[in-house]
Amino acid sequence: MNGFLKLFLIVGGLLILFLMFGAYEGSKPENQGKQKERDAIAYCRSQVSNPSLDPDAQRFTSRTCDYMSEQFKTKYGYDP
């Protein structure tokens, strides 16, 4: 039983450390900025298929989304 308790404490401690690290990383301003940019790109992509847009507006929106994605990749080094 003593071995089980040690294992439980080790796994529990690692889980707590993992959650604390995630909370810390998520609260950093640069990570919040990345998430806002990802959300903006996702919203842009959702508008490309909007049936109320005429074909020219859809092409313009698509190019704008591509540009936003390129800027994200240039800024952070990976795709959104």
Angle at 25 between CA 66 and CA 77, to 5 degrees: 30
- 37 close to 79: Cβ distance less than 8 angstroms: no
Q: How many domains does the chain have?
A: 1
Structure tokens at 56: 């020219």
pLDDT tens figures, 19-74: 777 767 666 666 678 888 999 999 999 999 888 888 899 999 999 999 999 999 99
Domain that holds residue 40: 2-76
Position 22 scores a pLDDT of 72
The two structure tokens encoding residue 69: 């994605």
The pTM of the full predicted model, rounded to 2 decimals, is 0.61
